[in-house]
Amino acid sequence: MAFSLRSVLTISRLLVAATFFSACTIVGLFSSSFFRVLPSIGMAGILLTGLSSFVLHGRHYIRASRSHYLPFLLILLLHVGAGAVTSAARMGEYTRDIVLQLPYLILPLGFWLLPPLPARYLRVLWLTLLATTVLAALLSTGNYLMHFDQINEMYLRSKVMPTEPDHIRFSLLITLAIAAGFCLLAHRSVLGKTAVAVWGAVVFLAFYQHLLAVRSGLVTLYVLAGVALLWLVFRTRQYQQALVLAAALVLIPALSYSVFPTLQNKSANTREDMGKVDNIASANNYSLVGRVYSYKVALEVVKDNPWIGVGRADIEPEMAVRYQRDYPNIRPEAYIQPHNQFLFSAVAFGLVGLVLFIIGFYYAGISVWPRYAPLLWAQYSILTLSFLVEYTLETQIGLGFALFFVLLALEGQKPVQGFEGEWRPA
């Protein structure tokens, strides 16, 4: 029986299946509102193909070090262990949270057990991200043009145009797609008409990021572009390419600001928002003000529960108690959880848990240092910047985006037998 399965489920076929399920995960990030189960199908498929590869062919390929994958389980264990401090009234929320965090087990285990995906398959997956992001951006742009005045006015009220997925995660996906396209072009992984199409996609997404005008996306885009500029000047000495990039960093925002009302209105709204921070009641209507007071409330929770936190499921009621006590001018419907992943983790798991979270999430990136892995570095940079202003990992799409693309970039670091003749996107 095992022999017949090996002859049918060969390594090459399993790698094709793993690539298909990875593509399902990528597309699923953009379609969760109308095909919610697709990311879960993709993740489950990656685990199934990984287990099948290990059981049927485990002696015929070299797996990457488990140290790249095992630390992610620390984060799942933190969420499981939080049940010890979760109140009885919130056990239902605790159970839902455990289900949400299962990708910390499914994805690292699946990718660790898989044989190395060939470079051409990795290239296809990163191009899938780029193509899907462009399609979603085009659909969003079309909707914007059909509701031009209405959407422009929304930007003056701390709102943005509808996107799929939500605008914050979408803006991060855009930055990663731009980074992926840039890396594929820089390493000549795409040539001819494909290279022209990738160039067009990268330029379009760079302008669309300014049309969307989400602060998280713009900050991550310019930080990555700034680092790329320094790399071209000081590491590779490619001064001509550096000059082109520097010109783009001046021209694109200048043109965008002069053309896109969304960017102009977001800029005006941000200035107004920042000027309201001292007025506590402004937290009811202004997003930046609301975040500032969510940080203050969260720090009070950490001060009262410094070591093991209050548990993920009890953050909302614990925050509400302190909102009512310290900031009665803020209405209950304006209460928000701390928009900072590190502070969120400190509230949920205490300072001990925060340290374990940092080790668990970042160890994979640290462990490959100093090997060359620009996509891995780009994804960790995007995530770290987003962690400063969002609890990125506390939604299905946010966690899927963060973990999947870290592991996909790690795939390019796996040891391979033989010479592939092209860059393994890493």
Res 164: pLDDT: 92
The C-alpha angle 264, 267, 273, rounded to 5 degrees, equals: 140
Can you tell me the mean pLDDT for 401-421?
Answer: 90
Res 37: pLDDT: 92
Token pair in block for residue 267? 């800029």
Res 128: pLDDT: 98
pLDDT tens, position by position, 14-71? 999 999 999 999 999 999 888 889 999 999 999 999 999 999 998 888 888 888 999 9
Inform me whether the pLDDT recorded for 2 exceeds 60. no
Label residue 235 by pLDDT band (50, 70, 90).
Answer: confident
Q: What is the CA radius of gyration of the chain?
A: 22
**HEC secondary structure over 55-103:** HHHHHHCCCCCHHHCCCHHHHHHHHHHHHHHCCHHHHHHHHHHHHHCCH
Res 16: pLDDT: 97
pLDDT tens, position by position, 356-369? 999 999 999 998 88
Hey, how many other C-beta atoms are within 10 angstroms of the C-beta on 60?
A: 11
Which residues have C-beta within 8 Å of that of residue 97, sequence separation ≥ 6? 79, 82, 312, 313
Alpha-carbon span 382 to 54, nearest angstrom = 32
Mean pLDDT of the chain: 93
Res 138: pLDDT: 98
Res 1: pLDDT: 54
Inter-helix orientation angle 215-230/374-387, to 10° = 140
Inform me whether the pLDDT recorded for 194 exceeds 70. yes
**Percent of the chain at pLDDT exceeding 70:** 99
Can you tell me the mean pLDDT for 96-125?
Answer: 97
pLDDT tens, position by position, 127-147? 999 999 999 999 999 999 999
Model pTM above 0.75: yes
pLDDT tens, position by position, 281-331? 888 887 888 898 999 999 999 999 999 999 999 999 999 999 999 999 999
Token pair in block for residue 352? 């001990």
Res 36: pLDDT: 84
Inter-helix orientation angle 72-81/91-100, to 10° = 170
Token pair in block for residue 388? 């400063």
Res 3: pLDDT: 61
In one-letter notation, the amino acid at residue 320 is A
Inform me whether the pLDDT recorded for 4 exceeds 80. no
Which of 172, 90, 93 minimizes the C-alpha distance to 341?
A: 172
Res 181: pLDDT: 97
